[in-house]
Structure 1
Amino acid sequence: MIIFFNKSKILYSLLGFFTAFLAVAQMQSFDLKEVRLNDGPFKNAQDVDLKYILELNPDRLLAPYLIASGIPVKAERYGNWESIGLDGHIAGHYLSALSMMYASTGNTELKNRLEYMISELAICQEKNGNGYVGGIPQGKVFWDRIHNGDIDGSNFGLNNTWVPIYNIHKLFAGLYDAYHYTGNKKAKDILIKLGDWFIELIRPLSDEQIQNILKTEHGGINESFADLYILTKDKKYLETAEKISHLAILNPLIKKEDKLTGLHANTQIPKVIGFEKIAMFSGNKKWSDAVQFFWKNVTQKRSVAFGGNSFAEHFNPVEDFSGMVKSNQGPETCNSYNMERLGKALFLDKSDVSYLDFYERTLYNHILSSQHPEKGGFVYFTPIRPNHYRVYSQPETSMWCCVGSGLENHSKYGELIYSHTAKDVFVNLFISSKLNWKEKDIYLEQSTKFPFENNTDLVLKLKKSKTFSVNIRYPKWAENFEIFVNGKIQKTEIKPSSYVILKRKWKSGDQITVKFKTSTHLESLPDGSNWSAFVNGPIVLAAKTSDKNLDGLFADDSRMGHVAAGKYYPLDQAYALIGEKEDYVAKLKELDKLHFRLDSLELEPFFEIHDSRYQMYFQNYTKEQYQEKHALLKQQEIEAMALESKTIDKINCGEQQSEVDHRYKGEKSESGYEDTKAWRSTRSYISYQLVNKKKSGKLLEISTIDNFKIDTITILINEKPANIVSLENKVMSLNVDNIEEINIKITAKTTRNSPKFYQLRILKN
């Protein structure tokens, strides 16, 4: 008997004689310890990640926690982000990575490290005496101010402290994962005490004050309290989760309003994961619908071919992806890390296979590609700018957020290869692996070389014959989808993005073979512009273009070390498609498995491209368009390159990482997005630090969105009044000749908002 499954209904068919509809049982994931990877690109990525994990020193990661607790350190803390305000955040990710990698591999060194770190954190918590444990610099003073209602929040600075709740959320998540994946009871104890401390911290605060705190990036702290509810079933944690959910993001989603443009992307996605988990336990349909609206908006309108979204960390306008095409700061890996977590949660909650289409696309093309497959190291930004490249972290120098999430990404590939209901198995991804469902005495091994070969074999090993369903995902990209059981083809009448369900009495040794075809097509950017990527099945193809000028390929510990800051190659010199798109697909000549010749280029899976500049997106012109539009692009590139060539340093005001990297401080400051630009204003002061390398810059340009009224502000450079050279067209020029380190402070003279500043730029002339 063959059964067909599609989304929330199951269609039973017995040789065509009868049909009936039944509700789908709740989908569940397997524990990571029940799935093991076989040889292939994912197993390799897991092994490389394991090596990176073991190269990190737990005592150095723990140092911020000991410092904050007044305990002598055992090793010097790491530098980079771990020493400039985000002290301790990697340790939380590290707990998660240790826990998941141990569950995925059984490596005992990982468990030993985990238990050691948990024990050290317990000592810190006991020393603090109030349930708190964290690495936030000057944490006692900071948290006392919050408890007393002294709150000044902006998008990433809370009382001039860099995303402190985001920071501590990583510890919440790491402690939860330590218990969830390894059963570490001490981690659970620390987590509950930490949660109770946080509840007491915010107890005196009004709802308005709490929402003010939530203006600052805070990770998925609401999800952490939903997790505490899972652990304890104590409703106070679920109530707290609801209380600390950011209404400025939630309410527009409930109304089906898209207010995301200009927002820091990865600030929002974890909040939505929290909304989803809270909705699942509270039964709040409005919240659940809001989450699905967000999912559809981001995956359909804001994501590029490889699954990533945003540039320079912010959501760009849905109708204009030109900023992303031009930028060396393309989609951030953390965004995809969190979109994968959201996709998994929705798939399990809704039992809807369609969520796996995006999950799979992002897994192969962004997550898998974001780690160097030989030398190790994690990618922060993946530019889609033609002929640019990516930078890889190093264990001793790089402590970025995408290192933390990167440690986790490659430790949990087994999480959704399979799933199950009460008694049935679902095969979701074609990845070579073994499933050992001890509870049901079902062992399944999947052998495949996908995506390089379009088939997979599944062999069952059972202690005794038994009746259950094996459900095979029919992906939306698959063509000529066929399933064989013990060599006999099975009749199917279903559509892509659904399951073929094979229900029978299985015996040990039974074999299921899945065969399909894939084809290549050109996929346009969501804004409908003339940029397209080649995609074969779920695999994005790209071309290596050059191995020159790969400045900072393996990152140092500089503040901008995560950005591929090497030479821009002009966009007008990139390969373009002239004529009909279909003609270029037809012109592809297959060289090898998933390798194609396109005139002088060789297209290959993007996840295989490393140590090279590349082109993923191609402009497409008709013959009539080419001369005019290409000439315009060339002129734009000449102007852009000329400006960049004389720029020494610049700050994009209101953009989180740009401001952090330039030591932003401020009070009574607001930021926003207007006229395609992020901005910042103040009713008190804002300050930044710029570097005029070799004193080669002569002018500091300050640009605003609104009118520049000099009589409303004062500007100091290195504590002295600025020397104003000119003021016109909303641009002020200051003399910075012969000044190498520039500390600029802008103060509002009245309680009114200052102008909206959007950029500061040091120029050679």
Structure 2
Amino acid sequence: MAASLPRRTLLLAAAIAAGTPAVSHAAPGRPGAGPQAPAPPAGRAGPTTPAAWSVRPFGLEDVTLGPGVFSDKRRLMLDHARGYDVNRLLQVFRANAGLSTLGAVAPGGWEGLDGEANGNLRGHYTGHFLTMLSQAYRSTGERVFTERIGTMVGALAEVREALRGDPAVLSTRGRFGAAVENVRGSYQYVDLPAGVLGDTTTITLAAWVKPAHDGDWARVVDFGDDTNRYLYLAARNADGVPRFAITDSGAGGEQGLDGTAALPLDEWSHLAVTLADGTGTLYVDGTAVARNTAMTLTPAVLGPLAHHWLGRSHYPADPVFAGAFEEFNVWSRALSAEEIAALLDVRAADSPAGRGDLASYAFDETGGGRFADASGRGLTATLRRTWGGPSHPGFLAAYPETQFIELESMTGSDYTRVWAPYYTAHKILRGLLDAHLATGDGRALDLASGMCDWMYSRLSKLPAATLQRMWGIFSSGEFGGIVEAICDLHAVTAEARHLALARLFDLDRLIDACAADTDVLDGLHANQHIPIFTGLVRLYDETGEERYLTAARNFWGMVVPHRMYSIGGTSTGEFWKARDVIAGTIGDTTAESCCAYNLLKLSRTLFFHEQDPAYMDYYERTLYNQVLGSKQDRPDAEKPLVTYFIGLTPGHVRDYTPKQGTTCCEGTGMESATKYQDSVYFAAADGGALYVNLYSPSTLTWAERGVTVTQTTEYPREQGSTLTIDGGSASFALRLRVPSWATAGFRVTVNGRAVPGTPVPGSYFTVSRAWRRGDTVRVRVPFRLRVEKAVDDPSLQALFHGPVNLVARDPSTGLLECGLYRNAGLSGDLLPTLTPVPGRPLHYTLDGTEWAPFAEGTEDPTHAYFRRSEPRVVFGGTDSGVANPAKADGTTLLDEVWAGAPFSGKGALVTHVRSTVDAWVDGGLLGREEGEQVVRTARKASYAD
């Protein structure tokens, strides 16, 4: 067994056995255990190969990409990974913990406090970025990536530590000295003791504020019981101007004062309100901007109030005030206009008004969580979070735990309130685990393990029925690949609770249906469910429960090919439709990129258990088409330039900057572009065979067999590949994938001599020998131009040359009509009908329209599908003058003729044409004389081989 493990895994297994730093979840106030900086690569700690796997992958560090389309695309993403400011990603985490965000601006989109659904997915992108950095480091060994990982992990450790304790003052510079900052996204507010207002009938409130966000209804002051009885001073009302209001009968009974202009952001403004003798006045920067002489309500009328808050509203939907406070004073009298104007130049204590006699806070504290009252009444205030604090010290997120709590009682989807919190947790968990496996950073393992302990502490207490309901809710209950990540963590920690946690995500009705091979996918959200099944395969690895593996295997077969588009993608508008409906689901929002990413992951994981070549056929299709084509071919420092949807409608232009960036698909796109080599080679678990799954320029270092395998090719521009063995001698079987589309001419030579045997399309061709340094294996994989038909409309077709999906570049928005048989070769290859574009490999023209590989990441309008039109019978460019007849199912005479290809020569073709024509004439589908004309034309024409 040991001989079959990769070198680094052996080192890691030894490290674990020798005592990998224990996973520790420190009590509040005590830092977690683990090294404070990433260890060198040799110190990585990770799981060994699961015993259930009959083949295993190589590490990204063991396979080096050579020059070609993959390395070109990866280089663009690596540059993005090197240059993007990681403090922007950390901003939302630091804000949630009330820490300084170091002036960083959140990435925006789904990863911003103002993002879609109010930023309820924020934090997910940070996990993706950590995974990308980890893969980049493992692939290149560049220190810049491990340094960035260390920065991010260290910051997340500080965030978790801050979340464990009470919120602490974040001091900033104020108008007269120190002030307190309330970072947007921190959900922090100042809680004043009861009795601030007493039974006063006259009052003045005054505060210096520096708003950092333009959210409506953010409160500077809100004293009240609930949404019935209160008084408040808001920095902005619905019109964007300051408002003071008081009521004892809810919003409809408010007596108020509204300003005339919005407060400037990131600048200090002075707000004051006086209320006396039925008149209220609102001042902004010392100037009266509103007066109401019909204000009959006073603090005395309201009576004792339960809450006295600065920065928080009694209306739960209102935002917490974001910005800074300096000086808040309350007087039991109405200050004069002159007294209020004087407050602009000096502190209240140094002004004619003096400190507030009811409450006076300078907010000049630089630490702790309490604020001294200088009024003489001893009303010490406390800094608090609206949500209190985490239920377990392992909690780590970029938003409060409230989303997780609320999900437990939800009965229907509402992602504006709760948007996939466990999905977001998965991305963070996966990123931390990948960081640990790549660098050996014990802090990352501690954070990941703590997250799982926190999840277990919540989920293990819930009834089974509650869990089943949660995981069945669209979007809100989505949990992504969390089961896979937890199983991978369990393989490192061996903690029983982690495996128990993984099983708490079982969605039994889906698992049981798929295990029984009952297709229930119609109407389901595709990417919510695909990663579930990769997790089930890993659960099978950890538990041996057969239904998990059976369900995953059957599920894959329900998607591929029954819900698969030509490029390998699936879903329309994120959802699945009925089985075998392809033409009927094509639209602008087909083929969500995340779905392709997750189906590739599931395909390779299933292959570890059963070496069905169909999994790798699918892998090649999707990798060489959708995944490559989802990355734009240009650099960008701010965005990864990856598609969300890939519309397959005629003339669609790919959008590489969807929804302002930071979507799920841009996250998985970053990962895809830094692991292109992950499935080029696999090894049999016993080390006796090497699988070559993809023909890709690369070098494999197979340390335990003492050999390197260098694959030199320009595939798919080149129709084949050359593999050179170097290093020592070793005996093993070389298993070369024969693509299912390689129906003729696949050949293998070793050192120039043909290897006997008959390659079978859709299988592996095996060469077994004792390999020596310098042995050269040449694989010839001839391409043919072929079409693939939509199962529900055979006239709607996609064009392939070998593995490459060729798409038309044309701005028209109607389906192109194309004929392809006119110059078909005796082999059945349709390529002679197309004209090559000089100097541009894999580019062709047909009737003046350019066709190019889908993988090219351009913004050209494309046609992935076209309408097949063969109106007349033409052979070798010679028109018979006979209309091409069709059967009721749409099959034409030419379809049946060319279905007999390849032909050994022209005579064989003519013989087949004669037999086909006779059958159609006998069936009344073709006239006798027309049939003879078809045969004469076939005999007269010239054909390419």
Bigger Rg, which one: 2
Given residue 494 of structure 2, which amino acid in structure 1 is its aligned partner? K
Asked if residue 163 in structure 1 is aligned to residue 420 in structure 2, the reply is yes
Could you tell me which runs of 5 or more consecutive residues in structure 2 were left unpaired when the two chains were aligned: 1-51, 165-391, 825-829, 873-882, 885-945
> 1:298, CA displacement in angstroms?
0.5
Please name the residue that 2:61 is paired with. Answer: 33
Residue in structure 1 matching 2:452, options 155, 170, 195: 195
Residue in structure 2 matching 1:489, options 754, 767, 773: 754
- d(CA) in 1 for partners of 2:763, 2:819: 37
Deviation readout 1:196-248 (Å, 9 max, x if unpaired): 01100123210111122212211122222222221122333222212212224
Count of aligned residue pairs for this structure pair:
574
Please name the residue that 1:298 is paired with. Answer: 559
Given residue 437 of structure 1, which amino acid in structure 2 is its aligned partner? W
Please name the residue that 2:439 is paired with. Answer: 182
The within-5 A match list for 1:239-278 is 239-278=500-539
Please name the residue that 1:589 is paired with. Answer: 835
Residue in structure 2 matching 1:471, options 717, 720, 735: 735
The within-5 A match list for 1:193-592 is 193-214=450-471, 215=473, 216-322=477-583, 324-325=585-586, 327-375=587-635, 377-393=641-657, 397-421=660-684, 422-423=686-687, 424-462=689-727, 464-478=728-742, 479-546=744-811, 570-571=813-814, 574-577=815-818, 587-591=833-837
Given residue 328 of structure 1, which amino acid in structure 2 is its aligned partner? D
Contact 2:404 2:421 in 1 (8 A): no
Residue in structure 2 matching 1:608, options 841, 856, 859: 856
- d(CA) in 2 for partners of 1:223, 1:581: 51
Contact 1:136 1:164 in 2 (8 A): no
> 1:135, CA displacement in angstroms?
3.5
Contact 1:155 1:217 in 2 (8 A): no
- d(CA) in 2 for partners of 1:212, 1:455: 51
Change (3 A) 1:115 1:389: same
Asked if residue 598 in structure 1 is aligned to residue 846 in structure 2, the reply is yes
> 1:262, CA displacement in angstroms?
1.7
Please name the residue that 1:135 is paired with. Answer: 397
SS of the residue aligned with 2:101?
coil
Contact 2:111 2:123 in 1 (8 A): yes
Please name the residue that 2:135 is paired with. Answer: 100
> 1:34, CA displacement in angstroms?
0.7
> 1:468, CA displacement in angstroms?
2.5
SS of the residue aligned with 2:519?
coil
Contact 1:384 1:615 in 2 (8 A): yes
Residue in structure 2 matching 1:126, options 161, 174, 177: 161
- d(CA) in 2 for partners of 1:355, 1:397: 34
> 1:529, CA displacement in angstroms?
4.5
Change (3 A) 1:117 1:581: farther
Contact 1:265 1:313 in 2 (8 A): yes
Change (3 A) 1:524 1:201: same
> 1:501, CA displacement in angstroms?
2.3
- d(CA) in 1 for partners of 2:667, 2:577: 25
Given residue 179 of structure 1, which amino acid in structure 2 is its aligned partner? H
Contact 1:65 1:135 in 2 (8 A): yes
Contact 1:226 1:241 in 2 (8 A): yes
Deviation readout 1:176-201 (Å, 9 max, x if unpaired): 21122333222111111110011001
> 1:65, CA displacement in angstroms?
1.4
SS of the residue aligned with 2:810?
strand
Given residue 352 of structure 1, which amino acid in structure 2 is its aligned partner? D
Deviation readout 1:589-640 (Å, 9 max, x if unpaired): 34454233321212221112512101110123564999xxxxxxxxxxxxxx
- By percentage of residues, which structure has more strand? 1
Deviation readout 1:290-338 (Å, 9 max, x if unpaired): 111110110110001110011111112234334533x221211100000
> 1:398, CA displacement in angstroms?
1.1
Change (3 A) 1:156 1:468: farther
Contact 2:53 2:608 in 1 (8 A): no
- d(CA) in 2 for partners of 1:153, 1:185: 39
Change (3 A) 1:320 1:515: closer
Change (3 A) 1:413 1:579: closer
- d(CA) in 1 for partners of 2:435, 2:648: 36
- d(CA) in 1 for partners of 2:798, 2:674: 29
Could you tell me which runs of 5 or more consecutive residues in structure 1 were left unpaired when the two chains were aligned: 1-23, 547-568, 627-765
> 1:522, CA displacement in angstroms?
1.1
Range with greater deviation from structure 2 (25-34 or 574-583): 574-583
- d(CA) in 1 for partners of 2:405, 2:460: 12
> 1:582, CA displacement in angstroms?
9.2
Change (3 A) 1:518 1:324: same
Q: What root-mean-square deviation, in Å, do the aligned CA atoms of Structure 1 and Structure 2 show?
A: 2.6
- d(CA) in 2 for partners of 1:319, 1:484: 40
Contact 1:427 1:470 in 2 (8 A): yes
> 1:97, CA displacement in angstroms?
0.5
SS of the residue aligned with 1:300?
coil
SS of the residue aligned with 1:73?
coil
- By percentage of residues, which structure has more helix? 1
Asked if residue 50 in structure 1 is aligned to residue 311 in structure 2, the reply is no
SS of the residue aligned with 1:500?
strand
- d(CA) in 1 for partners of 2:581, 2:736: 38
> 1:530, CA displacement in angstroms?
2.5
Contact 1:303 1:526 in 2 (8 A): no
Contact 1:82 1:90 in 2 (8 A): yes
Change (3 A) 1:330 1:141: closer
Contact 1:311 1:323 in 2 (8 A): no
Please name the residue that 2:106 is paired with. Answer: 77
- d(CA) in 2 for partners of 1:351, 1:183: 32
Given residue 646 of structure 2, which amino acid in structure 1 is its aligned partner? T
SS of the residue aligned with 2:746?
strand
- d(CA) in 2 for partners of 1:111, 1:64: 22
Contact 1:156 1:217 in 2 (8 A): no
Deviation readout 1:541-579 (Å, 9 max, x if unpaired): 111113xxxxxxxxxxxxxxxxxxxxxx542xx311369
Please name the residue that 1:7 is paired with. Answer: none
Deviation readout 1:417-471 (Å, 9 max, x if unpaired): 1111232322111100111122322111110011111121111111x33322322
SS of the residue aligned with 2:100?
coil
SS of the residue aligned with 2:110?
helix
Range with greater deviation from structure 2 (421-430 or 82-91): 421-430
- d(CA) in 2 for partners of 1:524, 1:582: 20
Change (3 A) 1:50 1:259: same
Please name the residue that 1:747 is paired with. Answer: none
- d(CA) in 1 for partners of 2:500, 2:131: 25
Change (3 A) 1:615 1:143: closer
SS of the residue aligned with 1:82?
coil
Change (3 A) 1:527 1:173: farther
Contact 1:68 1:134 in 2 (8 A): no
Given residue 655 of structure 2, which amino acid in structure 1 is its aligned partner? V
Given residue 434 of structure 2, which amino acid in structure 1 is its aligned partner? D
Given residue 833 of structure 2, which amino acid in structure 1 is its aligned partner? K
